[in-house]
């Protein structure tokens, strides 16, 4: 074994487009990547990725082909395709109440398959919340260091916030959130992972705060906001040299994400109601609909609910928008805010979104559940230009610098 650590990554799903294993591979410390399904680099897979064939394929095959990272071609990747198919199929069929049980069962089976297949000559395991408990338990018995990537705030806080939202917005959710036995089991599973971990990586101070409140030792938590954009080619956005009012146009407002209570959609819709008649605007909401049809109909006069749309069209929306709004109640570090920042779109979001944006520079960070401040900031962007907003080159330079700092910090954690 060389002087560098030898890391096994256990990644159930394609989180952040394989950002962490890719970095470890580039640093020469990735021993192996275990995952559920990985389409790889075979002649057939590469042929199917050609636009001529790819554009004619059904969506589920397209999604499978996207489970691939070209720069991991020489890495050792081990996957369990039959398990992965069953796992994804079960999640797709599951109701929100059933999902937690599938996460628990899927995480257990994933870990057991890795242990059975073998860990190899490693000294570090890098796992993600809810899908590494049994692996950590086994690793600890072998003296192997465990690093946990906590991608969302602690479930004790998530449950509290979502129950409060259901109480406040009764009659909104298609499937109202309740805390089931499976939810509690999933939370306890994650708590055991946190306790076993030697170090914990999280994407924002919001997540770190939730872990500290839960009782996790602050000294083993590192905030590392890594928001890799799958398409690193910059989105072209026209900077606001004029305000929408000056150009004689409407304010173009965008929301991207699941349209439900966790993302704070009622607060945006109520804000739109309040600015109606004050300023001209158009709002587009892109994402799967988790609120009742009658609520969608109720706000259809102020908002265009687009439903889920292809990623290629989401890029067009960022180019179209004057402002991006994500009044989220609970996140890890919302990827859509990285995308909007990269596109040079001013952002209105909450501390709870875990965003890296700078208040009054890249947009505005406001307290959650504050409709009045959403109104105030929307009107401000419509009426008053900013020397900082929509400076796409500066935004991308800041984003690149922040991600580089995060990579350096993560490398220090791994190399220690």
Domain ranges, ordered by start, for the chain: 7-223, 251-398
CA 124 – CA 136 distance, rounded (Å): 10
Domains 7-223 and 251-398 alike in fold:
yes
> What is the pTM for the complete model shown?
0.90
What is the rounded CA–CA span in Å between residue 286 and residue 268?
Answer: 13
Architecture of the CATH domain 251-398: 3-Layer(aba) Sandwich (3.40)
**Side-chain half-sphere of 354: how many Cα atoms within 13 Å?**
26
Question: Are the C-beta atoms of residues 254 and 317 closer than 8 Å to each other?
Answer: yes
Q: Which fold has domain 7-223?
A: Rossmann fold (3.40.50)
332 closest CA partner among 349, 351, 354: 354
Helix (H, G, I), strand (E, B) or coil at 363: strand
Q: Are 185 and 237 in contact (CB under 8 A)?
A: no
Which pLDDT tens digits describe the chain residue by residue (416 residues)? Answer: 458 999 999 999 988 889 999 999 999 999 999 999 998 888 887 888 788 888 888 877 877 878 889 899 999 999 999 999 999 999 988 887 789 999 999 999 999 999 999 999 999 999 999 999 999 999 999 999 999 999 999 999 999 999 999 999 999 999 999 999 999 999 999 999 999 999 999 999 999 999 999 999 999 999 999 876 655 554 555 555 566 766 767 999 999 999 999 999 999 999 999 999 899 999 999 999 999 999 999 999 999 999 988 777 888 999 999 999 999 999 999 999 999 998 889 999 999 999 999 998 889 999 999 999 999 999 999 987 555 554 656 777 888 888 899 999 999 999 87
Exposed / middle / buried, residue 57 (Cβ in 10 Å: 0-12, 13-18, 19+): middle
E-assigned strands of 12-74? 30-35
Query: Reduced to 3 states, what is the DSSP secondary structure of residue 196?
Result: helix
The 10 Å CB-count burial string (b at 16+, else e) for 248-277 is eeebbbbbbbebbbbbbbbbbbbbbbbbee
């Amino acid at each position: 074994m060389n002087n560098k650590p030898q890391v096994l990554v256990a990644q159930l799903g394609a989180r952040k487009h394989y950002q962490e294993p890719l970095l470890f591979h580039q640093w020469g410390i990735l021993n192996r990547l275990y995952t559920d399904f990985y389409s790889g680099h075979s002649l057939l897979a590469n042929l199917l990725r050609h636009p001529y064939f790819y554009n004619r394929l059904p969506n589920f095959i397209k999604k499978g082909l996207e489970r691939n990272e070209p720069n991991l071609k020489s890495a050792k990747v081990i996957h369990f395709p039959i398990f992965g198919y069953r796992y994804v199929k079960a999640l797709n069929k599951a109701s929100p109440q059933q999902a937690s049980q599938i996460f628990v069962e899927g995480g257990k089976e994933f870990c057991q398959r890795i242990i059975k297949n073998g860990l190899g000559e490693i000294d570090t395991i890098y796992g993600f919340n809810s899908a590494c408990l049994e692996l950590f338990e086994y690793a600890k018995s072998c003296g192997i260091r465990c690093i946990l990537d906590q991608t969302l705030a602690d479930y004790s806080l998530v449950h509290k916030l979502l129950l409060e939202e259901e109480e406040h917005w009764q009659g909104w959710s298609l499937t109202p959130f309740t805390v089931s036995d499976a939810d509690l089991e999933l939370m306890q599973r994650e708590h055991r992972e946190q306790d076993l971990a030697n170090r914990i990586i999280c994407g924002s101070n919001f997540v770190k705060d939730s872990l500290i409140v839960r009782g996790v030792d602050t000294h083993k938590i590192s905030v590392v906001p890594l928001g890799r954009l799958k398409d690193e080619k910059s989105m072209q956005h026209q900077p606001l040299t004029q305000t929408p009012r000056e150009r004689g146009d409407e304010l173009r407002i965008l929301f991207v994400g699941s349209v439900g209570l966790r993302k704070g959609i009622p607060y945006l819709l109520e804000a739109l109601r309040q600015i109606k008649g004050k300023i001209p605007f158009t709002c587009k909401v892109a994402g799967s609909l988790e609120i009742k049809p009658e609520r969608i109909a109720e706000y259809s006069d102020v908002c265009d609910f687009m439903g889920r749309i292809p990623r290629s069209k989401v890029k067009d929306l960022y180019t179209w928008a004057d402002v991006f709004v994500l009044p989220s109640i609970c996140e890890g570090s919302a990827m859509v805010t990285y995308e909007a920042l990269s596109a040079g779109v001013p952002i209105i979001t909450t501390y709870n979104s875990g965003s890296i944006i700078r208040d009054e520079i890249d947009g505005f960070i406001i307290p959650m559940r504050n409709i009045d401040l959403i109104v105030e900031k929307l009107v401000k962007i419509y009426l008053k230009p900013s020397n900082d907003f929509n400076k796409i080159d500066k935004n991308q330079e800041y984003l690149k610098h922040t991600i580089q700092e995060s990579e350096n910090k993560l490398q220090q954690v791994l190399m220690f």
